[in-house]
Structure 1
Amino acid sequence: MPPTTDSLLEPIGAVQRTQVGREATEPMREDIRLLGAILGDTVREQNGDETFGLIEQARVESFRVRRSEIDRSELARLFDGIDARHAIPVIRAFTHFALLANVAEDIHRERRRAVHEAAGEPPQNSTLAATYLKLDDADLDAKEVAEALDGALVAPVITAHPTETRRRTVFDTQHRITELMRMRLRGLTHTEDGRDIERELRRHILTLWQTALIRLSRLKISDEIETGLRYYPAAFLDVIPRVNAEVRAALQSRWPDADLLREPILRPGSWIGGDRDGNPNVTAEIVRMATGSAAFTAFTHYFTELTALEQELSMSVRLVHVSEELAALADACAEPARADEPYRRALRVVHARLTATARQILDRQPEHQLDLGMTAYETPAELSADLDAVDASLRANGSAVLADDRLARLREAVRVFGFHLSGLDMRQNSDMHEEVIAELLAWAGVHADYASLSEDERVELLAAELATRRPLIGPGAQLSELARKELDIVFAAARAVHVFGPAAVPNYIISMCQSVSDMLEAALLLKEAGLLDVSGENPYAPVGIVPLFETIDDLQRGSAIMQAALDLPLYRAIVAARGDSHEVMLGYSDSNKDGGYLAANWALYRAELDLVEMARAAGIRLRLFHGRGGTVGRGGGPSYDAILAQPPGAVNGSLRITEQGEVIGAKYAEPRLAHRNLETLLAATLEATLLDVEGLGDEAEPAYAVLDDLAARAQRAYAELVHDTPGFVDYFKASTPVSEIGALNIGSRPTSRKPTTSISDLRAIPWVLAWSQSRVMLPGWYGTGTAFEDYIGDGPDSDARLKVLQDLYRRWPFFATVLSNMAQVLAKSDLGLAARYSELVDDVELRHRVFDKIVDEHARTIRMHKLITGQDDLLADNPALARSVFNRFPYLEPLNHLQVELLRRYRSGDEDELVQRGILLTMSGLATALRNSG
């Protein structure tokens, strides 16, 4: 019998579950069956029975592999020598399933939350409702709350990422499918305009199938800027103002006299277009494009909302009273047709002044402008003042219900987005700063050979320069291409600050910051562009200098570097000009690549403890910026748990965190998802700030000593493989698609900071992405099993040592989170598939030398996890991921096998463009399916 279309993506071979578990997940399975059936029908109709049959055969065989009915090699043989033209639709089919499975899982989470709420159950952890109950129970002092939340900030910072390759059409179509599935969740069979929902699903899935998933040309930074900005109209412009208002109202109702959250707590940021560390494609023009496009997005939203408000607020002065301020605002619009409609006239004044502002500061103009020849707003505060006047008049005259709707959302939007939309961080590597500063100092005749100076001599020279107003160069300076480019970029940032306001470029981040001079070199560049002046009575420092500590060694020395900088009177003046507040960024990715999973996590924790103590002693407010990637190997994992696992005092009301790649889509692609994930960040930040969440009390130091020991053991085990095993780099390059990540059209940034074969110079994203594609997931666990096993030992005190670890797992959120995140990675790894990738290594002796170590450590790590946690199931504490692994992982199997097959051909010299495209598609499909792969 031919395969039926409704079986194409239907899970088969269920694992043993309780009846309750099956009943709870059956609606999700039904959604997967529906979407799979439609996809199957679409494939058969569009590509014929032969293609459909191959896909169906691959599906069936994949599930037979999971049930251990056949060996993996039998499935692999299905693709031996497959024509690339036939491979592409197979890859696309399983990639589309992953995308549709994401939709089904997201809908299921909404379903489960609704079930919990309908049953009257207490709100779940990571929701603001649950956080408010905890705060109520804690009986907190209003003054302490006000101090803790002074200057509070939660900032998800959007970054570019090579695994987020979906085109906007795919993005939008997925959103429409989500909305249709949400209607089905409410029991509807037709849309509001009478369309059959299932037919609409078929239409959109057909659109997906007929749309190329990825671009054929290499992404440009302009593409990445557009990709990052699309989350604003999709979700952020609506959700962020709403969440800010909700949190402020909830906290102010609890502590009405504390004047909490005077500024919006939730304010997004971006790196796309400002992060030039190792990316030569970032230029002054790109900085202007990034900041200008962001502002354009904000103004477009404001014009749309003002146009709608003019229609809605049609009240006549013959029927309502208005305030004097509102009447004065309206009088600036002398339109006879609206003589008795003061709110409409007032809003047209606002609209017209904002139009003048847009024409003054934007490079391209949005729609819905209104030119009445009025003066522009100088600042967003002026715009807010006019909108506040409209609000106050409505409230004073019995129309609060109108003020609380669209106008309230617009007022909140202006408060958080201003004219700039989101802050663009600038970032560059310290080596580049040194080279440019050396050239500027030589040109100015200050010092001919800056590079030859000792650290103390550099600091003395730089501090002296920063204390003067004298620029180093003038317009006619003859500089190298590098120095001119760097200066032009910083001048472009200065223009953005001048045009859009200080929030447009809030920070200058120094990658691989290893000394005080590294910080002062960046400061001197800012001074040269007019973004720093502490030489007089009115210090000016709109852009924060942010050291990024990345390696294990730099993390350990970070607080000492900061203290040495603050000991300089001039640098202390810079910090004072910024309200005695200082941000420090912590690099999860490079620290992991440098020292391995456990050593990096503990180095970060220790660094935070040291930085918190340093800031307390220095009397400054510290804000930590966490450079987390989507995957656990780059600091990923559930955000709520990760924030609560921070050491005491590390959050302190403020949190900045990078959001990257396919994880952005998973979290923020549409309003409900965005609301839930932003709520999680806020809930965890409030709890970590206002409650004692570490739980160690007086026993902290002994626990820290245990982790010191474990981290050292783990780092040695990791280094023995990654840094000390002969041929490891060759093995890595041959057994993963890391080389193809750079060779194919994935992302705008090179995979290495500079041409090299060194692991240390390889960027963290391709390092982690390559291991996740080959299903080894090495950065998320390697070395930890050996550390635990060696620590416990087999001597007379082994039982006692095991009990120590078991006790820490029960009591300490940090340790529990480390083990939980590691378990998630181990559950997503598959060394059977990894063995297939190892066969790409031609040197058999090298293959066994490296892969055998990986296999042994993998087994050891799982064994130690079970011993410490007492859990036989790696995902016992994460049923949602367990469901995901069960439902979708067999569908990844064909993608991995096809990737290996196509990699083998590509490396053997097959120049077929379809082979290259197939590799890229498998990368995208696996990243989509794993959801936090890079």
Structure 2
Amino acid sequence: PSFLRVGSWIGGDRDGNPNVDATVLRAAFTRQAEVAFGHYFGELAGLYRELSLSARRVAVSDGVQRLAEASPDVAESRREEPYRLALATIEARLAGSARALGLPLSGRYPAAEPYADQRAFLADLSLLAASLAAHGSGLLAEGRLGRLMRAVDVFGFYLMPVDLRQHAAIHAGVVAELFARAGLEEYGALDEAARVRVLSRELATPRLLYSPYVQYSAETAKELAIFREAAKIQEQFGVDAIRQSIISNCASVSDVLALALIGKETGLIRLDEAGRPVSRLNLVPLFETIADLQGAAGVMDALFAQPWYRELLRSRGDVQEVMLGYSDSNKDGGYFTSQWELYQAEQRLVASFAAAGVKLQLFHGRGGSVGRGGGPSFEAIMAQPAGSVAGRIRITEQGEVISSKFADPDIGAGHLEALVAATLEATLTEHQVDAADGAVFDELSRDAFAAYRALVESDGFMDYFLAATPINEIAKLNIGSRPASRKSLASIKDLRAIPWVFSWSQSRVMLPGWYGVGSAVAAYLARHGEAGLERLQRLYRASPFFQVVLSNMEQVLAKADLTIARRYASLVADGALAEALLARIEDEWQKTQSAFYAITGQGKLLEANAALARSLETRLPYLNALNLLQVELLRRLRAAPDDAGEVLTATHLTINGIATGLRNSG
């Protein structure tokens, strides 16, 4: 069986993107299926050229003979080529499957009876392989045919599963309307305990709240439609085509049960004859903010205490997936606090799941940049808490890094090998942060959080951010799946994590990847003196967690340039405000670099990473020039916004160039 699989959010992620609906979900699967079937038809054509074995020279199994006898290929010249005749039968049935799925593809033969699913297709290919191996042609079975069989096993008829994702508040709104139109409680006015109570009541009964005779709001109708479409796609492609539905901003038991009710209303969850729930979908809470990470284990404890939900988990093999958000936790609490709270959340979840007898699968929502959880994957997995990997892990790969990691087959294979190796090694060589070390990280986190929040909550900070970064210009680029913010920008809470990190990268401050660490270390050393420094140095040598935190931060520091950042600060209309905030950033920058050198013992950044140092040495002169050009373009663009034209186009080109040069910027 395949131990590594690829998934996608394209077509299923609606969080903040109103354009994703049932039609888009269907289009995503149609396009994916076209790619998969196109590959299979091409490989069958290749096998047809290779398997010209004659029945006069080689015997075949009874199974292959039956396929040959059913062949639509009636050419006299191929009467004694059973493998080619069998391949014609397989290709005709595959064409039938393509037609049944509505794909604009066809093989060389008229469509025949479609395969029930990819397993039936794989079974026929297996007949060919077994016959070849049994009659002295095993090498042919191991080549193109073996690769095709592996591809069918991994990619099926749909190429890759698609996850659904939506914000918890949208789910709650759908449930509230279902309750209201059914004449039940005013769901939105209920407290958490009451919500759990009424949801549990409705989940335990086979009746549905939805009525085809009631007109629902556009948003509710759209949400119900995409889940119904998901059920249809599962019926056509198999239940594994859509396995997960993720709840963004999940903060409570009712957030999970609300999604369960929507699943029940749309046929993805049903009750068996004994009244037990059976689910065709994994309900995945996504904990994102610092507060939600701190409360994640408590939410799961309370969820596992719900008899109905515990029964539902049994229908899913007693496996519960939990997603952790690296981006929003960083935006909420700063770099170090985010990293430490994520680590502690995992520790608590491991203990919670062990007590409940449920298998934990963590889904790490990592971005391309360090500020969004990026960095070398092998080291990141190896730094996970004991018991948090246990042979299974899911990780997001952002669009901006896909080409650099997978466009070259050799590099792609190496990256996947590193992921598999790290998962195995982390499972077999578990480590844990003990209480004494945890107390040190608690201290550092507390002071780092205070320093970070003091900056982002400063008077005028949002004015500085909007002027000293190209955030507004980034919002006009058609490069993201969602708008830059959920509403008008009054604080960083209103801004989405990706443009937040992307903007600081463009201005070369790279603030989300380091700010607060310098103040935290300075405060720790002020309390503990030389003994404190020795303690931090020992932790750096012994703790994989601390090593990864500082190593990733080092890469960010190496790409940042506060001299260039000062040029961006000149774009702020209020010069006094710009100088005051930039001075604070520069002061923290100096503290952070000093802390890094003191703890690691290095004399310069990237001292132990010569390859990256050489790469940056080559790239930075070009990047610096692009940054200076961008500052001037921003100045002109903002001076005459009604006459943007080529200036806006040129600005967007610099944004693209800087992002490409930095390689992991958003």
Task: Name the counterpart of 1:919.
Answer: 651
Deviation at 1:670, TM superposition (A): 2.6
Task: Name the counterpart of 2:541.
Answer: 810
Task: Name the counterpart of 1:515.
Answer: 252
Cα offsets for 1:537-586 (capped at 9, x unmatched): 47431211000000011001101101111110111111111000010000
Deviation at 1:535, TM superposition (A): 4.9
Deviation at 1:433, TM superposition (A): 1.1
Q: Distance in 1 between matches of 2:65 and 2:429?
A: 48
Q: How does 1:170-189 map to 2 (within 5 A)?
A: none
Task: Name the counterpart of 1:709.
Answer: 443
Aligned AA (2:522): E
Structure 1 counterpart SS, 2:493: coil
Preserved contact between residue 534 and residue 573 of structure 1 (Cα < 8 Å): no
Please state if 1:350 is matched with 2:87. no
Please state if 1:754 is matched with 2:493. no
2:344 pairs with 606, 614, 624, which one?
A: 606
Cα offsets for 1:294-321 (capped at 9, x unmatched): 1111111111111111111111111111
Q: Distance in 2 between matches of 1:264 and 1:787?
A: 45
Q: Distance in 2 between matches of 1:803 and 1:272?
A: 48
Cα offsets for 1:120-171 (capped at 9, x unmatched): xxxxxxxxxxxxxxxxxxxxxxxxxxxxxxxxxxxxxxxxxxxxxxxxxxxx
Please state if 1:839 is matched with 2:570. yes
Q: Distance in 2 between matches of 1:909 and 1:385?
A: 66
Task: Name the counterpart of 1:505.
Answer: 242
Preserved contact between residue 330 and residue 349 of structure 1 (Cα < 8 Å): yes
Please state if 1:339 is matched with 2:73. no
Task: Name the counterpart of 2:472.
Answer: 739
Q: Distance in 2 between matches of 1:674 and 1:549?
A: 30
Task: Name the counterpart of 1:443.
Answer: 181
Please state if 1:489 is matched with 2:223. no
Task: Name the counterpart of 1:871.
Answer: 602
Q: Distance in 1 between matches of 2:572 and 2:111?
A: 70
Q: Distance in 2 between matches of 1:385 and 1:586?
A: 39
Cα offsets for 1:691-743 (capped at 9, x unmatched): 23x3x5xx722111211121111111111101x21111111111001111113
Please state if 1:524 is matched with 2:524. no
Structure 1 counterpart SS, 2:360: strand
Aligned AA (2:427): T
Length-normalised TM-score, structure 1: 0.70
Q: Distance in 2 between matches of 1:393 and 1:690?
A: 40
Q: Distance in 1 between matches of 2:88 and 2:539?
A: 62
Preserved contact between residue 781 and residue 826 of structure 1 (Cα < 8 Å): yes
Task: Name the counterpart of 2:312.
Answer: 574
Deviation at 1:745, TM superposition (A): 3.2
Q: Distance in 1 between matches of 2:98 and 2:586?
A: 60
Q: Distance in 2 between matches of 1:780 and 1:297?
A: 38
Preserved contact between residue 277 and residue 308 of structure 2 (Cα < 8 Å): no
Task: Name the counterpart of 1:452.
Answer: 189
Q: Distance in 2 between matches of 1:907 and 1:768?
A: 22
Preserved contact between residue 469 and residue 535 of structure 1 (Cα < 8 Å): no
Task: Name the counterpart of 1:827.
Answer: 558
Q: Distance in 2 between matches of 1:899 and 1:639?
A: 32
Aligned AA (2:167): N
Cα offsets for 1:21-71 (capped at 9, x unmatched): xxxxxxxxxxxxxxxxxxxxxxxxxxxxxxxxxxxxxxxxxxxxxxxxxxx
Any gaps of 5 or more consecutive residues in structure 1? 1-262
2:396 pairs with 628, 649, 658, which one?
A: 658
Q: Distance in 2 between matches of 1:359 and 1:484?
A: 29
Q: How does 1:346-745 map to 2 (within 5 A)?
A: 346-362=86-102, 364-366=103-105, 369-447=107-185, 449-537=186-274, 539-692=277-430, 694=431, 700-722=434-456, 724-745=457-478
Deviation at 1:266, TM superposition (A): 1.1
Q: Distance in 2 between matches of 1:866 and 1:669?
A: 36
Structure 2 counterpart SS, 1:582: strand
Q: Distance in 2 between matches of 1:557 and 1:816?
A: 26
Aligned AA (1:471): L
Structure 2 counterpart SS, 1:521: helix
Q: Distance in 1 between matches of 2:156 and 2:477?
A: 39
Task: Name the counterpart of 1:933.
Answer: 665
Preserved contact between residue 356 and residue 371 of structure 1 (Cα < 8 Å): no
Once structures 1 and 2 are overlaid, which stretch shifts more, 394-403 or 490-499? 490-499
Provide the alpha-carbon RMSD of the alignment: 1.4
Q: Distance in 1 between matches of 2:266 and 2:212?
A: 12
Preserved contact between residue 322 and residue 360 of structure 2 (Cα < 8 Å): yes
2:523 pairs with 787, 790, 795, which one?
A: 790
Aligned AA (2:518): G
1:852 pairs with 559, 577, 583, which one?
A: 583
2:637 pairs with 906, 920, 930, which one?
A: 906
Preserved contact between residue 420 and residue 503 of structure 1 (Cα < 8 Å): no
Length-normalised TM-score, structure 2: 0.97
Q: Distance in 2 between matches of 1:457 and 1:539?
A: 21
Q: How does 1:17-166 map to 2 (within 5 A)?
A: none
Task: Name the counterpart of 1:283.
Answer: 21
Deviation at 1:523, TM superposition (A): 1.1
Preserved contact between residue 466 and residue 535 of structure 1 (Cα < 8 Å): no
Q: Distance in 2 between matches of 1:573 and 1:347?
A: 45
Structure 1 counterpart SS, 2:397: strand
Q: Distance in 2 between matches of 1:473 and 1:275?
A: 24
Preserved contact between residue 133 and residue 141 of structure 2 (Cα < 8 Å): yes
Q: Distance in 2 between matches of 1:912 and 1:455?
A: 50
Q: Distance in 1 between matches of 2:108 and 2:420?
A: 38
Cα offsets for 1:653-679 (capped at 9, x unmatched): 111111112211110113112111111
Aligned AA (2:490): T
Task: Name the counterpart of 1:118.
Answer: none
Task: Name the counterpart of 2:530.
Answer: 799
Q: Distance in 1 between matches of 2:557 and 2:403?
A: 23
Preserved contact between residue 277 and residue 753 of structure 1 (Cα < 8 Å): no
Q: Distance in 2 between matches of 1:285 and 1:361?
A: 15
Aligned AA (1:625): F
Deviation at 1:336, TM superposition (A): 4.9
Once structures 1 and 2 are overlaid, which stretch shifts more, 390-399 or 372-381? 372-381
Structure 1 counterpart SS, 2:120: helix
Preserved contact between residue 625 and residue 655 of structure 1 (Cα < 8 Å): yes
Q: Distance in 2 between matches of 1:322 and 1:434?
A: 60
Q: Distance in 1 between matches of 2:351 and 2:367?
A: 26
Structure 2 counterpart SS, 1:548: strand
Structure 2 counterpart SS, 1:271: coil
Task: Name the counterpart of 1:763.
Answer: 496
Any gaps of 5 or more consecutive residues in structure 2? none
Preserved contact between residue 820 and residue 877 of structure 1 (Cα < 8 Å): no
Cα offsets for 1:362-400 (capped at 9, x unmatched): 3x3235x14445211111111111111111111111111
Preserved contact between residue 281 and residue 748 of structure 1 (Cα < 8 Å): no
Structure 2 counterpart SS, 1:424: coil
Q: With a CA cutoff of 8 Å and minimum separation of 6, indicate the structure with the bigger relative contact order.
A: 1
Q: Distance in 2 between matches of 1:630 and 1:838?
A: 26
